Amino acid sequence: QVQLVESGGGLVQAGGSLRLSCAASTSIFRINDMGWYRQTPGKQRDLVALIIGSSSTNYVASVKGRFTISRDNVKNTVYLQMNSLKPEDTAVYYCRMKLGSVNYWGQGTQVTVSS
């Protein structure tokens, strides 16, 4: 069982930045598939960014050039640096890690961007 704890969400003005953290309760050294997702009320949870292996990343088009996903194997943490935030980035953000064949999710952290 892997527990994930997200932090770093909050209220920010448009154009501002936040860094989300997702700390795992186990070593992430051998976890090759990690991602950040977001969800707004009444909508499905959507992929924001993926990191595959040590450094291969993919982003949804709407955040390319503004968001950066990264990992720290020493701290067992995956990050999402979010710059140039827009009101449409407002959502609950969730991290996911896949260990073996099981996907583990965090509890979510609220990000609110005011205009």
The DSSP code sequence of the chain is ---EEEE--EEEETT--EEEEEEESS--TT--EEEEEEE-TTS--EEEEEEETTTEEEE-GGGTTTEEEEEETTTTEEEEEE-S--GGG-EEEEEEEEETTEEEE---EEEEEE-
d(CA 66, CA 113): 14
Q: Render pLDDT for 59-113 as a digit per residue (tens, 0 to 9).
A: 999 999 999 999 999 999 999 999 999 999 999 999 999 999 999 999 999 999 9
Average confidence (pLDDT) over 11-27: 97
d(CA 103, CA 111): 23
